[in-house]
């Protein structure tokens, strides 16, 4: 028996294609933004180093040469490796410089970086950033089609520009379809169709009337095969799509509330003393 197929994400220059063939736009950060973020992080790192150096200076002067050498090596490891590693792990791929310029480190599949990814990036940065004053890293970014430095190539990561958040008004249940939606059987939509319908409802006001009507009827026909019974006639396709999307959204919301409540009850049970002790 063949092994089950696991959905895999493939990344192109500006898109991530999920296993469900849903394209997510993703834009690699430009070298200019990365250099600016690195300069901010470097200035902060140097300031922390100077502060710690002033604190450790009296201690180093009182030690023997071998002990002082150990302290200085440990100090360098903390500044160049441990501190940036902890910052990027705790922020899940960010730093003060990256936050300031709206960029973020992600895996090649678009997921959140782990400690392993960050450690590889940090260790390689000792050579390409600190060892060559950023020259090696800059050269790698200029050559790579996705602006990757050597640490990204070794760790399987990339730095992306965070999209500007766009607020969309919440979809509301059409009043004339409330009774129908409360009793209709609505199956979950495939991810691609769900995203397509939701994107249409968010941007339909900017479409030409004829294009808007064609898309609405096409999407409604695709969605209607997963709904029983069909909405009462005559129902406008966009009102039908809105009703279905609201039902699916509310269903997922209440499922999440239920999961949180069950999880909270289990945690209370685990924290309670056993056998009354």
- pLDDT tens, 69-79? 888 899 899 99
- The residues pairing with 186 across neighbouring beta strands, listed in sequence order, are 227
Six-digit token pair at 102? 């709206």
Task: Tell me whether residue 112 is in a domain.
Answer: yes
Same domain, yes or no: 37 and 142:
yes
Task: Tell me whether residue 190 is in a domain.
Answer: yes
Helix (H), strand (E) at residue 257: helix 237-271
Of 105, 131, 161, the residue at which a domain comes to its end is: 161
Output the pLDDT for position 166. Answer: 65
**Residues ≥6 apart with Cβ < 8 Å to 173:** 181, 242, 243, 246, 247
213, 218, 222, 225 alpha-carbon torsion, rounded to 10°: 70
Of 110, 135, 161, the residue at which a domain comes to its end is: 161
- For residue range 99-125, list pLDDT tens digits in order: 999 899 998 877 889 999 999 999 999
pTM above 0.85, yes or no: no
Task: Tell me whether residue 156 is in a domain.
Answer: yes
Residue labelled with tokens 């430009």: 30
Task: Tell me whether residue 12 is in a domain.
Answer: no
Q: Which of 72, 81, 69, 73 is nearest to 45 (CA)?
A: 81
Of 161, 194, 213, the residue at which a domain comes to its end is: 161
* 259: containing domain: 175-271
Same domain, yes or no: 47 and 151:
yes
């Amino acid at each position: 028996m063949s092994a089950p197929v696991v959905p895999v994400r493939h990344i192109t220059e500006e898109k991530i294609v999920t296993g469900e063939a849903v394209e997510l736009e993703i834009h690699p950060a430009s070298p200019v933004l990365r250099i600016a973020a690195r300069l901010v992080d470097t200035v902060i790192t140097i300031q922390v180093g100077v502060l710690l150096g002033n604190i450790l200076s009296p201690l180093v002067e009182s030690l023997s040469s071998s002990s002082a050498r150990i302290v200085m090596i440990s100090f360098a490891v903390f500044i160049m490796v441990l501190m940036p590693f902890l910052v990027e792990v705790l922020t899940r791929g960010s730093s003060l410089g990256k936050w300031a310029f709206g960029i973020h480190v992600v895996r090649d599949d678009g997921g959140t970086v782990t400690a392993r990814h960050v450690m590889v990036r940090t260790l390689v940065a000792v050579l390409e950033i600190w060892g060559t004053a950023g020259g090696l890293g800059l050269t790698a970014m200029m050559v790579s089609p996705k602006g990757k430095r050597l640490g990204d190539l070794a760790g399987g990561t990339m730095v992306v520009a965070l999209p500007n958040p766009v607020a969309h008004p919440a979809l509301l249940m059409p009043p004339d379809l409330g009774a129908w939606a409360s009793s209709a059987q609505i199956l979950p939509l495939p991810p691609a169709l769900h995203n397509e319908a939701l994107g249409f409802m968010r941007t339909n006001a900017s479409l030409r009337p004829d294009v808007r009507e064609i898309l609405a009827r096409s999407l409604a026909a695709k969605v209607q095969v997963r709904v029983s019974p069909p909405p009462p006639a005559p129902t406008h396709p966009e009102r039908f799509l809105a009703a279905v999307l609201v039902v699916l959204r509310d269903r997922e919301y209440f499922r999440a509330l239920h999961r949180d409540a069950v999880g909270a009850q289990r945690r209370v049970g685990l924290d309670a003393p056993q056998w009354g002790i």
